[in-house]
Structure 1
Amino acid sequence: MSTNQPGQAATQSGNSFGELPKIISVDDHVIEPAHLFERWLPKKYHERGPKPVTTGIGRLEYTGASYKITTDPNGPPADWWFYEDLRFPYKRNIAAVGFSRDEMTLEGITRGEMRPGLYDPAERLKDMDVNHVEASLCFPTFPRFCGQTFSEAADKEVALACVRAYNDWMVEEWCGDSGGRLIPLIIIPLWDVHLAVEEIKRNRARGVTAVCFSEIPAFLGLPSIHTGYWDPFFETCADLGVTINMHIGSSSTMPAASPDAPAAVQASLSFNNAMASMADFIFAGIPARFPKIKLAYSEGQMGWIPYALERMDDVWLEHRAWAVTGEVLPEAPSYYFRRNMFACFFRDRHGVNSLDVIGEDNVTFETDYPHVDSTWPHTKKIAEEHLAGLGAETVYKIIRGNAIRMLDLDLDRDRVRVGA
């Protein structure tokens, strides 16, 4: 990519777009405060609900697809959630900002060792100010990326109450006093699509426009998106303008190669889930049947998208006699991507160089605070380096405009045509 587009002069900072717009990050994370369920879960469920515990952590063993974790009273202290048979510790790699790269390990961590911005909304806003970020959409940690923790629980009455409690905390406490800078992202009761629809409607009534969902629900033992089971959920989200956000790993399965491959293999291949999910949704006919649906792939990066679209279009055209049903997919897959889907990146030079194929209207930006991959507190510098050769309007779309349109945010109304 050339440094400047034709007819554009570089600024003193070396880019062609001037001052970087304030960032809207569509993929960050929150560490839940210890008081969450005590304060927001109805008292009748307290004994059966999640409980915060500080105790020692034993050895963490990576098994190729997951981690084996045990408590050890004599081990280093960590903050945990105890819920039914689940023992869930917070680890340094998911609470990494503020530590050096060599300190971002799988060791346990207490909230007292974390930056307060991980769990305190007022402190989060300060960390956003340091990082040139105006607004942030935060995924859960203890409930996992789409609420799998509660879906896997045995007592579904308590689990449903926990889902609602988490969402009440998210909307009223985490986002409530932020002046719109913290954007609410809710979870749903994955085990019952009709309860999920009710929760979408309950929260849309108080302004929520974003919901977590699994990239591949069949991997969670849930009905496939091809069965039609999820259609009421998809229809409700499309009709109410609620964006479905699918984080890598929201299927509780990360790509791997050999069963004994090191974690570096999994980390390098993490985008594969987003690629697989995109093909799954398109060929299931979800965007074809729900034209207003908005599907967002969080932390999936985007450099892989040009070939994925090329291949899907070739399959749609060349393999239609046996692999594709025209009634399900009357248009080429790339058409539905550009109309209904959003990619998200933080470091992806190849993707930026391929914007002409991906589409500048389909790209959003993230900081991944506070995970190992996070660009905090250097996000502005990294974004400027990635986008240096682009024009001001394209940079605006990537850094904030597309996120405003995707999430129907009450920002820049004079510049962004929401719903376009």
Structure 2
Amino acid sequence: MPLQDEHQIVSVDDHLIEHPRVWQDRLPDRFKERGPRIVEVGGNHVWHYDGVQYPTIGLNAVAGKDPKDWGMDPVRYEDMIPGCYDAKARIADMDIDGVQAALCFPSFPGFAGARTFFHAKDKELAYLCVQAWNDFNIDEWCATAPERLIPLAILPVWDIDLCVRELERVAAKGARTISFPDSPVPLGLPSFHTDHWDPLWQVCSDAEIPVSLHFGSGSFVPGFSNAEDIPHMVSTVLFANNLQWSTVDLLFSGKLQQFPNLQISLAEGGIGWIPYLLERADFVWERHRWYQKVDQNMYPSELFRKHFWGCFIDDVHGLENRHKIGIDRITLEIDYPHSDSNWPNSRKRASEVLANVPDDEVSMIVETNARTMLRFPRTS
């Protein structure tokens, strides 16, 4: 009988839509005109940042809408339900959905801040914008309900020294994870295999802050194209491919041996693919490890179960193979207010897909694994 009353759902992947005052309330006066602000263009609300316009993409805020009304067109704030951008309303929507706690990724900056601030020309302003988002998320959004909303931070990934400085700052403020590009390579940054990120991994390890890799946060999504003849569904189906790449990249990078306390969360990647990928990784490792600079003693599958956390929304196949993944390495995500979310029926759907899972395993999957990973204990 899964999802009994005592089972609290802790979602490791939800999203927030930034309200119009996030940066205007926090940037120094000299930057406010060029900082992110909402303007009206053609009857729509769009973000204006340092001379560039960014639409509010409708598909990012579909909670409460009929799928027939979904689309990529820009929307106004009044076209969204308030839980998208108002923390108090979000808590009410979580109560409707039967969700106790949620970790929320950014929207306008990109899932790891890379889509917007990494590409900005004025890096001083961009750095201040990163800090402003972190302060908003920790001091305003999550402070609304500290026992319900889990603090996450983004980083100025274009500068490793600034990354470390900002991570140390937000760790002191209570951040429970950082959102980092699922691969730095598409951004033109050093790969996971270099020593470039070592100072960051060291701080993450010392502070026990897991690295959340959200699919597409490195700016590349397989199948995504502006070509009119390619449906957006192609990229949506292939979301997990991003994190398959990230996982294999890190498994063979040597960084998990170098930083044995480093933890990686694979946000919005599903889990059904994990058993095959680990089988394939072990198969390749057995045959090719002798002539390459990789660990010759530990199977990739062993490393995975020490360092990675799989995350799923609605993954029947993955749950059927949960023991091949590791019961203590699976977490649940709700993805509100995005199109994959089952809101307002997330608890009902979770109960359905977990119907044949023993209660002790259900407790780990929906709650305690996430609390362990994020160091976010129950308060009641």
Q: CA deviation at 1:268?
A: 1.0
Q: Tell me the equivalent position of 1:102.
A: 68
Q: Tell me the equivalent position of 2:99.
A: 133
Answering whether residue 299 of structure 2 is matched by residue 332 of structure 1, we say: yes
Preserved CA contact (<8 Å) 2:176 2:209 = yes
Which residue, 264, 280, 284 being the options, matches 1:315? 284
- The residue identity in structure 1 corresponding to 2:362 is V
Which residue, 116, 121, 125 being the options, matches 2:82? 116
Report SS of the residue matched to 1:375.
coil
- The residue identity in structure 1 corresponding to 2:373 is M
Task: Tell which deviates more after alignment, 404-413 or 223-232.
Answer: 404-413
CA RMSD, Structure 1 to Structure 2 (Å) = 1.6
For 2:239 and 2:369, how far apart are their aligned partners in 1?
A: 24
Q: Tell me the equivalent position of 1:6.
A: none
Q: CA deviation at 1:291?
A: 0.5
**Pair 1:392–1:79, CA change in 2 (3 A):** same
CA distances 1:148-179 after superposition (whole Å, capped 9, x unpaired) = 11111000111111111111111101111213
Report SS of the residue matched to 2:261.
coil
For 2:2 and 2:138, how far apart are their aligned partners in 1?
A: 38
Q: CA deviation at 1:18?
A: 4.0
Answering whether residue 23 of structure 2 is matched by residue 32 of structure 1, we say: no
- Tell me the TM-score normalized by structure 2: 0.96
Segments of structure 2 that go 5 or more residues without pairing to the other structure are none
For 2:211 and 2:29, how far apart are their aligned partners in 1?
A: 31
Which residue, 278, 292, 307 being the options, matches 2:247? 278
For 1:88 and 1:170, how far apart are their aligned partners in 2?
A: 21
Preserved CA contact (<8 Å) 1:52 1:81 = yes
Answering whether residue 57 of structure 2 is matched by residue 91 of structure 1, we say: yes
Task: Tell which deviates more after alignment, 377-386 or 175-184.
Answer: 175-184
For 2:5 and 2:203, how far apart are their aligned partners in 1?
A: 39
Q: CA deviation at 1:207?
A: 1.5
For 2:187 and 2:255, how far apart are their aligned partners in 1?
A: 19
- Tell me the TM-score normalized by structure 1: 0.87
Correspondence list, 1:249-264, <5 A: 249-256=216-223, 261-264=230-233
Q: Tell me the equivalent position of 2:131.
A: 164
Q: Tell me the equivalent position of 1:288.
A: 257
Report SS of the residue matched to 1:176.
helix
Report SS of the residue matched to 2:173.
coil
Correspondence list, 1:65-76, <5 A: none
Which residue, 316, 319, 331 being the options, matches 1:352? 319
Preserved CA contact (<8 Å) 1:20 1:380 = no
Q: CA deviation at 1:16?
A: 5.5
Larger fraction in helix: 2
Name the % identity: 40
For 2:148 and 2:379, how far apart are their aligned partners in 1?
A: 13
Q: CA deviation at 1:320?
A: 1.6
For 2:3 and 2:111, how far apart are their aligned partners in 1?
A: 35
Q: Tell me the equivalent position of 2:269.
A: 300
Q: CA deviation at 1:330?
A: 3.4
Which residue, 154, 170, 173 being the options, matches 2:121? 154
Q: How many residues matched?
A: 377
Which residue, 32, 46, 62 being the options, matches 1:80? 46
- The residue identity in structure 2 corresponding to 1:43 is D
Answering whether residue 33 of structure 2 is matched by residue 47 of structure 1, we say: yes
Larger radius of gyration: 1
Segments of structure 1 that go 5 or more residues without pairing to the other structure are 1-14, 57-76, 414-420
